[in-house]
């Protein structure tokens, strides 16, 4: 395989590393991007390892930095963070089509990379497949029960004391508790990337299904408080038709940034199994 540094996009502001396989490449190229603000190498260099493994299987792979991250310069366009990411990914696909014979693309994204992948696939039909790790999660009643059970297992007495204290505070408070929907949304939005209402997120996924975009979702063990049992995706989207049938794996022995070698093997194995079915 060969690796080259590329500059592309408006005024060549964007930077990426192109990895090309030896021999005839597959028809699909794979895009890897930033997870949060981590440069294109990925957390613990996971994107480097993943890109080389995918190239050994015949894929053309681009590890890229979005505008203002890693080696890429900030954009002067008046776009939101998500809109700019979509624009950057489109520029990457345009450039790869000029350089190579590929005409369709897949994307593997972690955290914010997963969110951007969904937005880009909705906006651009060249994205045919998405592997998404730790995207938005929607707790169910079982999620709350599994979480409570873990708390009791770890600290039975202390947990009961905290629950008792919270119950007393609710009873003595003069403020009315927020409506259930508001409380749930406040919990979901307690992260750097606000979680949309479940119905809105389901519409996005359904739009991809309608376009026959291949999807694979993965949740790591670090998502335990919001995603913690194998049937959660199916249970959460039971009333949303085909959305509930999207393949979704819970990997409790893998952390959000694939810190250990074991976690990295798990992540690479999941992506390569997904990619093996691509053209």
**Residues paired with residue 251 on neighbouring β-strands, in sequence order:** 220
Quote the number of domains for the chain.
2
H/E segment holding residue 121? helix 112-123
Evaluate whether residue 111 is within a structural domain. Answer: yes
Tell me the per-residue pLDDT of 67-81, one tens digit each, with 9 for 90 and over.
Answer: 999 999 999 988 988
Examine the domain organization and report whether 121 and 152 are in the same domain. no
Query: Residue 164 has what pLDDT?
Result: 75
Evaluate whether residue 166 is within a structural domain. Answer: yes
Indicate which CATH number applies to the domain containing 56. 3.40.50.1820
Examine the domain organization and report whether 35 and 57 are in the same domain. yes
What average pLDDT does range 210-229 have in this prediction? 96
Evaluate whether residue 121 is within a structural domain. Answer: yes
Tell me the per-residue pLDDT of 30-69, one tens digit each, with 9 for 90 and over.
Answer: 999 999 899 999 999 999 999 999 999 999 999 999 999 9
pTM for the complete prediction?
A: 0.87
What average pLDDT does range 175-189 have in this prediction? 48
More confident site: 83 or 180: 83
Range of the domain at 176: 141-185
Examine the domain organization and report whether 165 and 128 are in the same domain. no
Examine the domain organization and report whether 7 and 130 are in the same domain. yes
DSSP state of 110: E
Examine the domain organization and report whether 32 and 145 are in the same domain. no
Evaluate whether residue 225 is within a structural domain. Answer: no
Evaluate whether residue 56 is within a structural domain. Answer: yes
Rounded percentage of the chain residues whose pLDDT exceeds 90: 77
Evaluate whether residue 203 is within a structural domain. Answer: no
C-alpha–C-alpha distance, residues 241 and 8, integer Å: 40
Evaluate whether residue 240 is within a structural domain. Answer: no
pLDDT at 189 over 60: no
C-alpha–C-alpha distance, residues 182 and 184, integer Å: 5
Query: Residue 163 has what pLDDT?
Result: 64
Query: Residue 148 has what pLDDT?
Result: 84
Examine the domain organization and report whether 14 and 122 are in the same domain. yes
**Torsion sign over Cα 170, 171, 175, 179:** positive
């Amino acid at each position: 395989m060969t690796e080259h540094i590329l500059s592309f996009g408006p005024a060549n502001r964007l930077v990426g590393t192109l990895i090309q396989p030896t021999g005839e490449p597959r028809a699909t190229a794979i895009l890897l991007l930033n997870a949060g603000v981590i440069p294109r190498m990925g957390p613990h260099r996971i994107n480097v390892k993943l890109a080389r493994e995918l190239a050994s299987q015949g894929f053309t792979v681009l590890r890229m930095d979005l505008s203002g991250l890693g080696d890429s310069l900030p954009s002067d366009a008046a776009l939101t963070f998500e809109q700019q990411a979509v624009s950057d990914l489109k520029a990457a696909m345009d450039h790869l089509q000029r350089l190579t014979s590929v005409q369709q693309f897949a994307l593997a994204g972690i955290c914010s990379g997963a969110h951007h992948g969904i937005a880009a696939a909705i906006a651009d039909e060249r994205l045919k497949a998405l592997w998404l790790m730790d995207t938005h999660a929607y707790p169910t009643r079982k999620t709350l029960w599994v979480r409570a059970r873990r708390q009791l297992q770890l600290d039975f007495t202390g947990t009961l004391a905290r629950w008792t204290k919270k119950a007393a505070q609710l009873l003595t408070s003069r403020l009315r508790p927020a409506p259930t929907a508001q409380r749930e949304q406040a919990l979901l939005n307690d992260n750097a990337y606000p979680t949309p209402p479940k119905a809105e997120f389901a519409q996005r996924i359904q739009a991809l299904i309608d376009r026959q975009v291949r999807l694979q979702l993965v949740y790591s063990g670090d998502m335990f408080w919001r995603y913690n049992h194998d049937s959660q995706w199916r249970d959460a989207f039971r009333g949303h038709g085909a959305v509930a049938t999207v393949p979704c794996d819970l990997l409790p022995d893998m952390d959000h940034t694939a810190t250990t070698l074991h976690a990295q093997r798990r992540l690479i194995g999941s992506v390569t199994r997904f990619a093996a079915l691509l053209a």
